[in-house]
Structure 1
Amino acid sequence: MTTHVPPGTSPTAVDDLRAREALRAHEFAGAGHLLRLWRPPLAPGQWRTFGLFSADRLETELASMPLCV
């Protein structure tokens, strides 16, 4: 998943979204649905995540992530 932050987005809004995304990922991991998460280093303003999931209803689970719009 690659996330593009629109120009003009406040750093506070980005931090809030990242915190909510991290909380949901932690919940997935606790339930055994998120097996591994990688966040490679990128240039400023770039945000990329690779995840290994195991879920019966993966599309439903991923739709509950804050970044899913």
Structure 2
Amino acid sequence: MPTYAYRCRECDTQFEQQRPMSESSAPATCPTGHDDTVKLLTTVALTGRAGGGAPAGGGCCGGACGCGG
């Protein structure tokens, strides 16, 4: 289940809630009871396999098609 970050506009508290994606737009209540909250944008880091850099050859297909680029 995804975790979403929120900030309370009344007390400036930042908090997280786990909820289904289908409820991602639903209002969240601050832990101190305030209802005026806003969902924060968060970033997710996606990584490939350990030690795996970019494919050799570069270009649109890693150099496998002979396009040179």
Q: TM-score range by the shorter chain?
A: under 0.3
Q: Which has the larger radius of gyration?
A: 2
Q: Normalising by structure 2, what TM-score?
A: 0.22
RCO comparison, higher one (Cα < 8 Å, 6+): 1
Q: With structure 1 as the length reference, what TM-score do the two structures score?
A: 0.22
User: Of Structure 1 and Structure 2, which has the larger fraction of its residues in helix?
Assistant: 1
